Structure 1
């Protein structure tokens, strides 16, 4: 019953945040859509900000699955690292991700690089970098530092894309620059 209630509220909030944005959405919107009371919202999420965090956690889990799929389709581990990051940048064109994850999320919850989900992403990138170093694909470098720099570049590029007047044009610039930045790690030119 608790999971069903939480699920209804998250679905309702996700819809409202995507359509209206965080500031224009009200707790009454969520509870009416979900057929629940404000008490249920307070009990499960504390407040509107807690509900936004739950929506972002759900979206982030979906994004990670899509990024992992892009990596797994790649012909090589190096290409997988690039494809995974580029998939993330491409998702910055999607209205729901733009508004909730890249515009409202940082405005309400603060710096996305400090969100709890970032540590898992950093660990995965660092592990991939370590494997690429061991395979001789990239130069010897501190894996955590390289992971933080690549992930930071991708995150900032996604924020730039989401806030741009012409997101597709910015995506093309960001992808090209990201590739060049990442290729600096290679032992040889691609």
Structure 2
């Protein structure tokens, strides 16, 4: 069956993304070469320049791909929770736990900020903040949390989990850092509750 031009373009993009993702995960951004992205998968440098501009553009696209997959995983965790509050806590903790996964640790949390700058300014953060705002609005309507200012609280919470993930990924003992971060986050989050008794 003859493939259409659109299918060929998508296939090329997919192969470059897969090659870049594998190289960035195994070697890191600095040690990955153009041949890792092109010659090893039977493509030319021109294809890379056409689709992503350069190595930095490929890294950004790989991070966007991983982020999209992460969002699906987090939404599934929230959907399985028995309450809005449990979903909020479980999703936040799961995000921090992902910081010890080798691919996310190296590509998104270590190389990403070093190459692309402050992750708090990445475009995906707007979606994260919006999602947290929606969750907080729901918790307010359910009379679970206090009458807080939603946007400010969402930005503070997102900043806390992002900072924790960056800390965990860079720490020499990431599992120990993860446990500290999880306990601290739950303690902070419990301060939002109307009922003063802490929840897990």
Flag whether TM exceeds 0.5 (same fold): yes
Match of 2:177 among 170, 175, 183: 170
Gaps of 5+ in 2: 1-7
**Greater radius of gyration (CA):** 2
Match of 1:149 among 156, 165, 169: 156
Match of 1:133 among 116, 137, 140: 140
Partner of 1:68: 75
Partner of 1:87: 94
More off after superposition, 98-107 vs 66-75 = 66-75
Shift of 1:32: 1.8
Q: Determine whether 1:187 maps to 2:194.
A: yes
Match of 1:29 among 21, 26, 36: 36
TM-score, normalized by length of structure 2?
0.93
Partner of 1:18: 25
Q: Determine whether 1:47 maps to 2:50.
A: no
Shift of 1:34: 2.1
Measure, in 2, the Cα distance between the counterparts of 1:16 and 1:134: 46
1:111-162: CA deviations, max 9, x gaps? 1111111111110110110110111000011111111111110000000000
Shift of 1:29: 1.1
Shift of 1:82: 0.6
Partner of 2:110: 103
Gaps of 5+ in 1: none
Q: Which runs of 4+ in 1 moved over 4 A?
A: none
TM-score, normalized by length of structure 1?
0.98
Partner of 1:77: 84
Q: Alignment partner of 1:25: what SS?
A: coil
